[in-house]
A = this chain, B = another copy of it.
């Protein structure tokens, strides 16, 4: 564990997840359920009892617990004793008592999460690393990489005690079906499970470190509450119980650690549309195999986790920044799902609470993290989008003189209103559009039909509309980053036609100015939107949007590099020409050093001031960092128009961050992406901060640095207080996690480690 406890609020949920199992062991928020959750975008449904009795298991003193449960006594017993005056005395015991807030400390880091209270300490270890490529890795490497389990330690320090103490770990289930594990887990090991799908196994070791080591034994129990189970003399296990657990007694003078494996195993196909099962089922036979082998490997896993946490602790970042990176990493892996479809691996990151699969505007944000560890999953994603979730559309060229209909009478801090009859009936010509990519591949384990997302609908102007240009850029940028990291020219050559189609599609949609001038016919009477889907006008429409403009510029810059590697000089020149053109358009929009969000004077978004204007700069930065650009950053902005855009974006950012009216910070100091909306996305703030520091070096400006420092602190509070139950939340409304909860995308904060 890290050496310093957290200073601020510690009572927030964290996900503890292996890689690719769409599984999370969640705890931290007091008084709510959590525990093991599988394939859901929210905490599990178990009360988690982690506690200690100051005596043997039968001692008539309270079970003191970490506060991860609603109440220590369940009412399930009542169902069997309909007319009894109440549960019989034999079954009524004093409830568990939570430790007081001031007794508890938490040490939260990249791959470790430790709670201490009294003589108890509890740590969950979640080492992460490269998910091996099944095409290349050995079976052993795959087992290690895809182990659908995490390890925890429950340590009871009785070194100063005069009588035994008892430690317990138990999960009280809301659904029916917990059981004790009766398969052979190995000597002195005890376990329990929920049906076939998830479970816990444990063994106890003497870690006193002096004297002859004991060989302690763990014992299992299962009744209708943790306290009943632990203390029941005659029938500690009732197969009808809801609360299985594992306990151990620690003699006076000793320190024992219970090592826990917390894992899952879903053997059947889990997805529809494309029928997929977990790839780990290739390498593990069943839940018992998962749990037993995890206990076998526990020492190694703990060391790996501690090493990762230690690495983060030594990074040249503030505690607030380290916290956000840690929290984001915990949350990211809980959404990951590595499937096997048609005998091939299929990588999915689920979209937090929404469980949309491989939302492409999230994928493009995850790419930095994934490429640092397992570039093959990025290739897998790019190929799957091309094969299954791309489409070719046309664009709408309106033929009336009216121009887009703007409703200024609509609250400008809200998303655009739905299209009215006039908008829906505007006449248009259809012109060639080109290739683009779906918003996502489906939701909740249901793959969408080929060429279709679960999210996008026609005739809308805001949330749930199409993101055609946005996703076209996103696929391109993801491909660019993949190439930057791997230089996988063989893949690029195979994908040549797609790259060419992308350029053509960008050109068709770009009109005179080179970027996002038209909406896809897929939108019918609506308009395309950006990933900032529920934001105000400033980031709703793609047309003439500064965020889209800079992202398009980055996409052209990317295409130039890809065509370079494909040896297509003509296309390189065309791409660079368009990059310069778009950059010039952006630079030209600045008024008093600030860029309007929408380059249309009659648009409500013209008055908005948005920080994501700079987001696109993250990609050229990556190409420079990886050497893929072949030049330093200043050469990326070398052409006159690109230099002008660089200066404009830098000044825009500086002005917005130091705005005396503070229109782009919240009252608490947190970053407000749009001056006209209370919606903010932590993942996008993270990219923005990265660009602000690494592209523009604005953190060297003391005024800006002060703003950023205060912002980091506010962002921590957004998570620890504003989203305490939701274990890392992306969409924040005025400091409170309101949507995009339990989310993977905040992993963009790991860019700060660069």
Interface residues of A (CB under 8 A from B): 40-41, 79-85, 88-90, 176-177, 179, 182, 193, 195-196, 234-235, 238-240, 267-270, 272-273, 353-356, 411, 414-415, 417-418, 442-446, 448-449, 452-455, 457-460, 462-464, 524, 533-534, 677-679, 731, 733, 738-739
Interface pair A235/B353, CB less than 8 Å apart: no
A455 engages B84 (CB within 8 Å): no
Residues of chain B within 8 A of A85, CB atoms compared: 411, 414
Taking a contact as CB atoms under 8 Å apart, the answer to whether B454 and A239 are in contact is: yes
In the complex the two chains form, is B448's CB within 8 Å of A239's CB?
A: yes
Q: Is the CB of A353 within 8 A of B177?
A: no
- B80, B179, B739: the one contacting A80 at CB < 8 Å is B739
Please tell me which one of the listed residues B177, B415, B446, B459 contacts residue A177 in the complex, with CB atoms under 8 A apart: B446
CB within 8 Å for A195 and B444 given contacts A84-B414, A267-B269, A738-B82: yes
8 Å CB contact of A739 from B82, B353, B739: B82
Q: Enumerate 19 A-B pairs (CB-CB under 8 Å) in ascending A order.
A: A80-B464, A80-B739, A81-B739, A82-B739, A83-B733, A83-B738, A84-B414, A84-B415, A88-B415, A88-B417, A88-B418, A89-B417, A176-B355, A195-B272, A195-B444, A234-B458, A235-B458, A238-B454, A239-B448
Nearest Cβ on chain B to A420's Cβ, whole angstroms? 10
Q: How many copies does the complex hold?
A: 2
| B88 A462 Cβ-Cβ under 8 A | yes
Q: How far is it, in angstroms, between the C-alpha of A193 and the C-alpha of B272 when the chains are bound?
A: 10
Chain B residues, CB < 8 A from A411: 85
Question: Given contacts A89-B418, A464-B80, are A443 and B239 in contact (CB under 8 A)?
Answer: yes
Residue of A84, A89, A193, A533 with most chain B CB atoms under a 10 A cut-off:
A84
Question: Would you list the 4 A-B pairs with minimal beta carbon distance, nearest first?
Answer: A268-B268, A239-B454, A82-B739, A82-B738
Residue of B81, B196, B453, B460 near A534 (CB, 8 A) is: B81
Is B463 touching A81 in the complex (CB atoms < 8 A)?
A: yes
Closest B residue, CB atoms, query A416: B88
A82: which of B240, B444, B733 is its contact (CB, 8 Å)? B733
A83 contacts B677, C-beta separation under 8 Å: yes
- Nearest B residue to A241 by beta-carbon distance? B454
Rounded to whole angstroms, the CA-CA distance of A240 and B453 in the bound complex is 10
Q: How far is the CB of A739 from chain B (nearest CB, A)?
A: 4
Q: Is the interface of A mostly helix, strand, loop or mixed?
A: loop
- Given A177-B446, A238-B454, 14 extra CB contacts under 8 A: A80-B463, A83-B414, A83-B678, A83-B738, A85-B411, A88-B462, A89-B418, A238-B457, A238-B464, A239-B452, A239-B453, A240-B354, A267-B269, A268-B268
Q: Give the residues in chain B near A353, CB-CB below 8 Å.
A: 79
Q: Which partner residue on chain B sits nearest A418 by CB separation?
A: B90
For A90, what are the chain B residues with a Cβ–Cβ distance below 8 Å? 418, 460
Q: Are A176 and B83 in contact (CB-based, < 8 A)?
A: no
Give the chain B neighbours of A235 by CB distance below 8 A: 457-459, 464
Q: Closest chain B residue to A275 by CB distance?
A: B196
Q: A81-B534, A82-B733 are in contact. Are A196 and B457 (CB under 8 A)?
A: no
Assess the B455–A240 pair: CB atoms within 8 A: yes
Most interface-central of A411, A452, A534 (chain B CB within 10 A): A534
CA distance A90 to B462 in the complex (A): 12
| A534: B residues at CB distance < 8 A | 80-84
Out of B269, B354, B415, which one reaches A196, CB within 8 Å?
B269
The residue in chain B whose Cβ has the minimal distance to the Cβ of A237 is: B457
Interchain CB contact under 8 A, B445 and A177: yes
- In the complex, the answer to whether B83 meets A444 with C-beta atoms within 8 Å is no
Which of A85, A239, A679 neighbours the largest number of chain B CB atoms within 10 Å of its CB?
Answer: A239
| With A79-B739, A353-B79 as contacts: A459 and B234 at CB distance below 8 Å | yes
CB pair A195 B463 closer than 8 Å: no
CB neighbours (8 Å) of A446 from chain B are 177, 179, 195, 239
A455–B79 Cα gap in the complex (Å)? 13
- The distance in angstroms between the C-alpha atoms of A462 and B269, with both chains bound, is 44
Q: Which residue of the partner chain B has the closest CB to A415?
A: B84
Residues in B neighbouring A196, C-beta threshold 8 A: 268-270, 272
Q: How far is the CA of A677 from the CA of B84 in the complex (A)?
A: 11
Residue of B nearest to A734 (CB): B83
Closest Cβ of chain B to A281, distance in Å, is 11
With CB as the reference atom, state the residue of chain B lying closest to A182: B449
CA distance A79 to B351 in the complex (A): 13
Q: How far is the CA of A84 from the CA of B462 in the complex (A)?
A: 11
Question: Known: A85-B414, A234-B457, A463-B80. Is A239-B442 also a contact (CB below 8 A)?
Answer: yes
Closest to A40 in B: B176
Closest B residue by C-beta to A234: B459
User: With the chains together, A575 CA to B454 CA distance in Å?
Assistant: 70
Query: Do residues A176 and B457 form an inter-chain contact, with CB atoms below 8 A?
Result: no
Contacts of A79 in B (CB 8 A): 353-354, 739
A440 to chain B, nearest CB (A): 9
Give complex CA distance A534, B234 in Å: 20
Partner of A272, one of B179, B354, B415: B179
Shortest CB distance A31–B (Å): 22
Closest to A678 in B: B83
A74 shortest CB reach to chain B, Å:
15
Q: Which residue of B lies closest to A277 (CB)?
A: B268
Q: Across the interface, which residues of B come within 8 angstroms of A444, CB to CB? A: 176-177, 195
Closest to A413 in B: B83
